[in-house]
Amino acid sequence: MAFLDQSYLLPDGVAREIYESIQGLPILDAHNHCDVKALSEDRKFENFWEAEAATDHYVWECLRKCGVDEALLTGKEASDKEKFLAFAANFELVAGNPTYEWIHLDLKRRLGIDLEINAENAEAIWSQCEAKFAQDDMSQQNLIKAMNVEAMCSTDDPADTLEYHQALQNSQLKNTVFPTFRPDKAMNIGKPEWNAYIDSLGKRWNTSIETIDQLFDVLGQAHAFFASLGCRASDHGVNVPYAQQFPKGIAEKVFAKARAGEKVDYTDRVIFMSYFLNEVAELDAQRGWVFQLHIGAVRDVRTSLYETLGPDVGGDLCDHNTDILTPILPLLNRFDNRLKVVLYNMNPIHNATLAQLTRVFGNKVSLGLAWWLNDSYIGMKRQLEYAASVDLLSNMAGMVSDSRKILSYGSRHEVFRRTLSNVLSGMVGLGQMSKATALKLARRLAYDRPKELFGF
Amino acid sequence: MAFLDQSYLLPDGVAREIYESIQGLPILDAHNHCDVKALSEDRKFENFWEAEAATDHYVWECLRKCGVDEALLTGKEASDKEKFLAFAANFELVAGNPTYEWIHLDLKRRLGIDLEINAENAEAIWSQCEAKFAQDDMSQQNLIKAMNVEAMCSTDDPADTLEYHQALQNSQLKNTVFPTFRPDKAMNIGKPEWNAYIDSLGKRWNTSIETIDQLFDVLGQAHAFFASLGCRASDHGVNVPYAQQFPKGIAEKVFAKARAGEKVDYTDRVIFMSYFLNEVAELDAQRGWVFQLHIGAVRDVRTSLYETLGPDVGGDLCDHNTDILTPILPLLNRFDNRLKVVLYNMNPIHNATLAQLTRVFGNKVSLGLAWWLNDSYIGMKRQLEYAASVDLLSNMAGMVSDSRKILSYGSRHEVFRRTLSNVLSGMVGLGQMSKATALKLARRLAYDRPKELFGF
Amino acid sequence: MAFLDQSYLLPDGVAREIYESIQGLPILDAHNHCDVKALSEDRKFENFWEAEAATDHYVWECLRKCGVDEALLTGKEASDKEKFLAFAANFELVAGNPTYEWIHLDLKRRLGIDLEINAENAEAIWSQCEAKFAQDDMSQQNLIKAMNVEAMCSTDDPADTLEYHQALQNSQLKNTVFPTFRPDKAMNIGKPEWNAYIDSLGKRWNTSIETIDQLFDVLGQAHAFFASLGCRASDHGVNVPYAQQFPKGIAEKVFAKARAGEKVDYTDRVIFMSYFLNEVAELDAQRGWVFQLHIGAVRDVRTSLYETLGPDVGGDLCDHNTDILTPILPLLNRFDNRLKVVLYNMNPIHNATLAQLTRVFGNKVSLGLAWWLNDSYIGMKRQLEYAASVDLLSNMAGMVSDSRKILSYGSRHEVFRRTLSNVLSGMVGLGQMSKATALKLARRLAYDRPKELFGF
């Protein structure tokens, strides 16, 4: 077997047969970080670095581990080509990490370049990519088409005017790209930038937000506006998923204190966040949306990165001790049987707690695929095998790329579909289910289930 | 390889050879939730639903995840056949979950019906089962005989009069079914029903319980009575295993407070539970019993289920953060070398802590097999592989079915024995032990070790 | 495949090819518990028990689990032969545990005795070992040579005079054996023996230590002295890695209180330990040493062992709840990009947190190999597979034997190299990297990486 060939991640004939049955299905990608503006402009990438690395902190993290200087990663001085050459010279040291596979898959499947990335091949890859990216079929919208993306959801702020989503309705991607309602900035009452954000959110909706009722009036308007553009889910990034039941009066006081510029403490934040998540869940329940929680990210722990580059640059991780069960139970019970919920975890240690939680709460509460640093072959395989044994595979939410790179959607879903085929063929091989049943489950997780859950 | 055929869970010839060497050994099942009354009456099941699903919340949980209405699971109105048809129509969605395998195994091995459960086969399975269950060899006692159960332990309250255990001594199951001493209701001092339970426990023993000494007098009598019927173990279901050393005086005050109907707080419960477990451990040590702790179940978290159906209906799960080490060390040290202990955990995350704990405390403290949502093929395989590397396989306690369904004992032990053969063949295949040694270990864990530990 | 033959842990041809490419590389063993005095004296072992079990609490723990009496493990009365016979009679019960494999490997590879250890073979093994150990090529230094150890680091106290390290500079092991700076006794301010230790540390350096400045003066002198003998790393054994930033004044007060014989509480210990680790990290950073943290050992939990035999006899384990992230972040941020750090964890549950932490902190912070009860085939395999998917394999620190037994270094490194070959061949087999890349990574982890990191 050779690197990334047709048998990639498929150890036997049954695995290959399962994969062949699902590889052609359209992609449904219910959560990613698409640059919708760039997509709506349908512009092309100029080179490999811009397409693959300029916006991807996974690449920066891996190259930092190889000792590549920050100037050649996020620096403003170095050219894309200089950065690419440093990348290529070091990339073999990244082998074993999924970033190594994803990028080679992009190169092979999307760009048709079958070379291993290293110093020797660097110039050839650079120039072949430049030529390839200049082709018309490599515009961003054409890439989405070529990857057979039937539906995808970006991640958007309630203050967003969504004009690029509107523009896409007049493009070849009509009815393909939907926003997701992600009001984290409004929820994160402890952050220094919160007050300014609330101001700007008010302005966006031509009002001022002085009370908690006004906040949820505005969020309700935004929710309706998002719905008009096909939004079908909210999404919330949390470390501990505080979602307890507090009376509005208590949350109101915290809100007033924060708006007055007073310091809010940890308890205040727990109160406000809990109230906030419950209110958004109520909106979602009324509209039949999916309420997604991304649980367990501890952000910006590396001060040197945060101070020079800001958030989302590789300073995030997760902790094993994160409390999940106690804080989230009140919300799950309050909305029991009337809200679709998907729970994603970042630390594989929490696979058991989450799979058992989604098992207990029945049909409407689903386990999301292994998230972030967990969505490698090994991370997904271990999660799928375990989740199948506790919860039901058939009730899981399906794959989301979570990617910031358009070029990567196809590769991410390919790795998932191959991993799923691998896991199911393992079960067939051990006599745990028939091949016919495995084929049905494969199709369900790859396509039918996200279609049903998100209403694509 | 086909679904559940002879090679089920056995990937190679060595695995099959190991399994063949142990598949005929009698079953020793030191922990289950047998309905002893029904068994003593030796009655037959009427149909598939009654035998397989009417008492099994695992089935309900799986079908809830498929969207089956509660009326067709636990409802009083729907007939068994209606429930069965809903079950059959949805069961393929359960594939990957051990419940799918266990029930198909029961069907195939016990009932001789080699059909996959689905809508198409539903009527055939229903009628074939009805016919089969009507046969004399399908009475409950005959099933136990057919499954080659040499010894089994039910789970019983100290207030129980055990008349059905006595009745079984005059049946073909003489010296086969033993009670287990499970005084959880007396331990759970925080629960609303505790005082009424203590009253009834007193009445059962023709006395009243007003002091902590009286409580342990009664429990001591019950302990002796259980012993007279072959009991050889106590069992305790705990979330956090509080077993610290508190002076009797302090526990006495908590007890008095609770008996006076006053509210006890968390600390009170920790004190009483700690004292309680130590006292029962003392009784067990004196009588040479096995002290079993089932650790880490968080119960009744789904309010809608608990309020309509009560406990043990599918509202239970486990948490990763559960504290185990600090609370349990005092008891293990106090009874070091003079009490047989078996520790079971529900969350695979705790496999390491528990295996290291049983390693440290020597010969008398044993690791129990992966418990509850953890006793699938994948759960047991991962535990056995890891526990072997830290503790000794040869000191583990062996398999228990933990089942509420008689029909399932054979299937549960079959899955364990196949998984064990799979794990050992893996070690032989990698050259970690000789096949001769693996064959000895297989026999030991499947039969000799529980026989020795529980004194069957 | 037969027990421990050439294919041991190598499931296919690619695994064997990878292993063959690295099996001959010299051993670099950056952390062990070598008895340097014994090594400098170059004396021979007398018998199997002395060489394999007399100093190895792993063996005692395993045999305790088999029910062997303490008198035949650590007793002063029984002869080595009597102990060996008890060991041999029970050792097959240890199969599945890595101790079983390590000791058989020593027997086979070092002593050329190809017998399974059991009652039947006991006399033969005993006498063949006696004869073998009497040979000149079995002296301790010759064993180190025979195992192709190029560099190894023992574990040493700052009060140590290191005369045996000096002596080794005039032996055939010149430039082979280096000390490691392990000041745990000075750090553990809460322990009853701390004050006496500080006295003796002062005496060793011909001074008295009455202030915290004097303590770090002395430690600074010791650090320089260790450097003169080739030391290149400090090492710290901690449960929770407290390394927060406290002002010197606060730590000074705790120090003064403890020196005055007053009781220090938990907070005091956190303050002092945090200050201490930061100060040593500063010394290490200035000298370009590697700062190693062994995280998560809870020591001496079994009272009966500790009271009769003291520490390091088998009473240690780890906990899943151990807090790691919050306490260690301040140190990692303070020394970001200017201190080489290696983090080792004992509980596999912490693999994810640690791999993500080392990913975030870039090139100078490396993940150590699975430690202590985690460094079995299964423990290392699971860690390597997961760590590769989060961090980079190429940045890991490489194998350390952590062994107290000279005879075992070769076997420990053999098991690692085979496991590494197994993991990499798995990735090649699934098409995740080319064989050429896997061969380079194998060499890097087995030799080049520790050489570069520790500057051997």
The residue behind tokens 């027997």 is C107
Distance from CA of C250 to the nearest CA of A (A): 24
Across the interface, of B61, B92, B298, the residue whose CB is closest to A437 is B92
Q: For residue A448, what are the CA distances in angstroms to A177, A292, A352, A445, A455?
A: 18, 19, 25, 6, 10
Put simply, the answer to whether C393 touches A100 (Cβ < 8 Å) is no
C432 touches chain A (CB under 8 A): yes
What is the distance between the alpha carbons of residues C453 and C456, in angstroms, rounded to a whole number?
8
Report yes or no: C35 and B329 within 8 Å, Cβ to Cβ: no
B438 touches chain C (CB under 8 A): yes
Which residues on neighbouring strands pair with residue A344, listed in sequence order? Answer: A294
Phi and psi at A294, nearest 5°, equal -100, 110
DSSP line for B385-413: HHHHHHS-GGGS-------S-GGGHHHHH
Residues in C touching B338 (Cβ below 8 Å) = none
Put simply, the answer to whether B304 touches A336 (Cβ < 8 Å) is yes
A34, amino acid identity: C
What is the distance between the alpha carbons of residues B366 and B368, in angstroms, rounded to a whole number?
6
Neighbours, chain C (3 or more CB pairs < 8 A): A, B
Put simply, the answer to whether A363 touches B116 (Cβ < 8 Å) is no
Distance from CA of B393 to the nearest CA of C (A): 7
B287, amino acid identity: R
Across the interface, of A337, A390, A424, the residue whose CB is closest to B304 is A337
A445 touches chain B (CB under 8 A): no
- Length of chain C in residues, anyone? 456
Across the interface, of C389, C431, C437, the residue whose CB is closest to A376 is C389
Across the interface, of C8, C95, C97, the residue whose CB is closest to B430 is C8
Put simply, the answer to whether C316 touches B360 (Cβ < 8 Å) is yes
Across the interface, of A324, A388, A431, the residue whose CB is closest to B3 is A431
B382 touches chain C (CB under 8 A): no
C347 touches chain B (CB under 8 A): yes
Retrieve residue A134's tokens.
Answer: 């200049």
Distance from CA of C331 to the nearest CA of A (A): 11
Distance from CA of B451 to the nearest CA of C (A): 16
Report pLDDT for C391: 97
Largest CA distance in chain B: 66
Helix pair angle (A266-287, A248-259), 10° resolution: 120
Retrieve residue B85's tokens.
Answer: 């048809």
Strand ranges (E), C17-146: 27-29
Report pLDDT for A179: 98
Domain ranges for chain A? 46-136
Pick the CATH number of B46-136 from 1.20.120.430, 1.10.2020.10, 3.40.50.720, 3.40.50.970: 1.10.2020.10
Angle at A290 between CA A287 and CA A296, to 5 degrees: 140
Closest C-alpha to B184, from B87, B248, B277: B277
Most B CBs within 10 A among A245, A357, A432, hence the mutation to make, goes to A432
Put simply, the answer to whether B65 touches A356 (Cβ < 8 Å) is no
Put simply, the answer to whether C100 touches B431 (Cβ < 8 Å) is no
Pairs of CB atoms within 8 A across A/B: 142
Put simply, the answer to whether C390 touches A7 (Cβ < 8 Å) is no
Put simply, the answer to whether C432 touches A378 (Cβ < 8 Å) is no
Burial, A349: exposed, middle or buried (Cβ in 10 Å; 0-12, 13-18, 19+)? buried
Sign of torsion over alpha carbons A379, A381, A386, A392: positive
Write the CB contacts of B339 (distance below 8 Å, at least 6 apart in sequence): B281, B284, B285, B291, B364
pTM for the model stands at: 0.98
Closest C-alpha to B449, from B316, B340, B304, B347: B340
Share of chain C above pLDDT 70, in %: 100
DSSP line for B350-366: GHHHHHHHHHHT-TTEE
* Gyration radius (Cα) of chain C, Å: 22
Across the interface, of B326, B352, B437, the residue whose CB is closest to C318 is B352
Put simply, the answer to whether A302 touches C336 (Cβ < 8 Å) is yes
Most C CBs within 10 A among A16, A302, A386, hence the mutation to make, goes to A302
CA torsion B103-B107-B108-B111 (nearest 10°) is: 150
DSSP-H helix ranges across C159-193: 163-168, 184-187
Report pLDDT for A298: 96
Put simply, the answer to whether A1 touches C321 (Cβ < 8 Å) is no
Burial, A101: exposed, middle or buried (Cβ in 10 Å; 0-12, 13-18, 19+)? buried
Report pLDDT for B1: 65
Residues in C touching B361 (Cβ below 8 Å) = 302
Report yes or no: B11 and B413 within 8 Å, Cβ to Cβ: no
Put simply, the answer to whether C432 touches A101 (Cβ < 8 Å) is yes
Closest C-alpha to C226, from C276, C277, C275, C284: C284
Q: Classify A443 as helix, strand or coil.
A: helix
Report pLDDT for C1: 64
Q: Is A337 left (phi over 0), alpha (psi -120 to 50) or beta?
A: left
What is the distance between the alpha carbons of residues A314 and B132, in angstroms, rounded to a whole number?
63
Half-sphere exposure of B398 (CA within 13 A, CB side): 22
- Residues B379-398: pLDDT tens digits? 999 999 999 999 999 999 99
Q: Classify B292 as helix, strand or coil.
A: strand
Distance from CA of C247 to the nearest CA of B (A): 32
Put simply, the answer to whether C65 touches B392 (Cβ < 8 Å) is yes
B373 touches chain A (CB under 8 A): yes
Residue of C nearest to A64 (CA): C362
Closest C-alpha to B167, from B38, B70, B62: B38
Residue of B nearest to C318 (CA): B353
Burial, A311: exposed, middle or buried (Cβ in 10 Å; 0-12, 13-18, 19+)? exposed
Report pLDDT for A1: 64
Sign of torsion over alpha carbons B169, B175, B177, B183: positive
Report pLDDT for B386: 95
Q: Classify C365 as helix, strand or coil.
A: strand
CA end-to-end distance (rounded Å), chain C: 37
A320 touches chain C (CB under 8 A): yes
Residues in B touching A321 (Cβ below 8 Å) = 321
Put simply, the answer to whether B321 touches C318 (Cβ < 8 Å) is no
Residues in A touching C388 (Cβ below 8 Å) = 96-97, 378
Report pLDDT for C450: 98
In chain A (456 residues long), the average pLDDT of successive 10-residue segments reads: 93 98 98 97 96 96 98 98 98 98 97 97 98 96 97 98 98 98 97 97 97 98 98 98 97 97 96 98 98 97 96 95 96 98 96 97 97 96 97 98 94 98 98 98 98 98
B255, amino acid identity: F
Half-sphere exposure of C362 (CA within 13 A, CB side): 25
Give the pLDDT mean for C158-181: 98
Share of chain A above pLDDT 90, in %: 99
Report yes or no: A98 and A377 within 8 Å, Cβ to Cβ: yes
C98 touches chain B (CB under 8 A): yes
**Residue segments in chain B with a per-residue pLDDT below the cut of 50:** none
Closest C-alpha to B363, from C62, C53, C374: C62
Residues in C touching A61 (Cβ below 8 Å) = 359-360
What ipTM does the predicted assembly reach?
Answer: 0.97
Put simply, the answer to whether B438 touches C376 (Cβ < 8 Å) is no
